[in-house]
A = this chain, B = another copy of it.
Amino acid sequence: MASLPPAEQALAEAVLGAPGAAQRRALAKSITLLESTRADHRQRADALLNALLPHSGGALRLGISGVPGVGKSTFIEGLGLFLIERGHRVAVLAVDPSSSVGGGSILGDKTRMERLSVHERAYIRPSPSSGTLGGVAEKTREAMLVCEAAGHDIVIVETVGVGQSETAVAGMTDLFVLMQLPNAGDDLQAIKKGVMELADLVLINKADLDENAATRARAQITSALRFFGPHAQHGAQVLQLSALQGLGLPEFWAAVTAFRDERRASGALAERRRAQDEAWMWERIEAGLRQRFKQHPGVRAQLPALADEVRAGRLAASVAARRLLDLLN
């Protein structure tokens, strides 16, 4: 870390090795720096990230999605405390693209996880609130690396089961869990297009409320996963639990660790991370190219009128694209 400026040097060292509360403060300060949009902060943040990167990657990364009301907070708090009892250190992050629209950011209200949030072996950080989904996801990815460098060996990334944030979270975690309510039939439609194929594991929460419904839902979801899931050959796993009653946590964790051990042994876990990193790099490059394009003076002047012509069917889309690209020369 010889090339780091002194302030970031001290911050990195505190993230890596300061005791208890001092480490938590360094962690929070680092993530705040990463989330800053100031250009000079961004340079310092990049230097810090590079210093911490060799110490990251050691956690199991768990993505958890589900519609509001499915019981994510109760489940994550229960799981976090369960894991801490077993000697783990748990970080909980979030990707909430709606958080920038104001109010109601997931994890923003720490009282939602009262017991976990005050535990010294846990670190909870609400979703960053900066513009696009890509931007929010990037901050969360970087925060995950810092939490790993600080020694958290389980990172949970929560997202809401709406929009495309599930794809972003599945793209940064080792195992993606979809939480469902036990309503069979109609409510299966809540399993949105494309989300089922991301799920490595489906959890039916509140299974104690109506056991018959939960069993029917499990059968239906199992059948759907056999066709559409990422593990279509074997059929992905569907588990029932009651987050409120604390039932089903040991079975869930056994399934998670079995999944991780199998994929670690086969090399699939390392390959998934390599592919995620490369996809992330290209996603950020493309977002950057798009932003530069939209800010180009010639494009700004002509894009609205050309887009109108395309929508009105008076100009072929490919011709409009070529005209706009030619402005960059």
Contacts and interface: CB of A to CB of B under 8 A. Distances in A.
Interface of A: 42, 46, 49-50, 53-54, 57, 138, 141-142, 145, 188-189, 191, 193-194, 196-197, 224, 226-228, 232, 273-274, 277-278, 280-282, 284-286, 288-290, 292-293, 307, 310-311, 313-322, 324-325, 328
Contacts of A232: 189
Nearest to A321: B284
A228 B138 CA distance: 29
Contacts of A226: 189
Stoichiometry, as copies per complex, reads 2
Nearest to A274: B311
Contact of A286 (B141, B188, B289, B316): B289
A34 to B, nearest CB: 9
A278 B290 contact: no
Contacts of A313: 53, 57, 273-274, 277
A189 B231 CA distance: 11
B315 A53 contact: yes
A316 B313 CA distance: 43
A327 to B, nearest CB: 11
Given A189-B232, A194-B194, A227-B188, A288 B319 contact: no
Contact of A53 (B278, B289, B316, B322): B316
23 contacts: A42-B322, A46-B316, A46-B319, A49-B316, A49-B319, A53-B313, A53-B315, A141-B318, A189-B227, A189-B232, A193-B197, A196-B228, A274-B311, A277-B311, A278-B307, A280-B317, A281-B310, A281-B321, A282-B321, A284-B318, A289-B289, A289-B290, A289-B325
A209 to B, nearest CB: 22
A280 B313 CA distance: 12
B284 A322 contact: yes
B284 A286 contact: no
B286 A286 contact: yes
Q: Which 7 A-B pairs have the closest CB atoms?
A: A284-B321, A281-B317, A280-B317, A289-B289, A288-B325, A193-B197, A285-B321
A281 B320 contact: yes
A226 B224 CA distance: 11
Contacts of A197: 193-194
A262 to B, nearest CB: 21
A50 B315 contact: yes
B281 A314 contact: no
B322 A46 contact: yes
A134 to B, nearest CB: 10
Given A274-B313, A280-B317, 10 more contacts: A53-B313, A54-B314, A142-B318, A145-B316, A189-B232, A273-B313, A274-B311, A281-B320, A284-B317, A285-B325
> Which one of A191, A274, A289, A318 has the highest number of Cβ atoms from chain B below 10 Å of its Cβ?
A318
A313 B191 CA distance: 34
Contacts of A311: 274, 277-278
A47 to B, nearest CB: 9
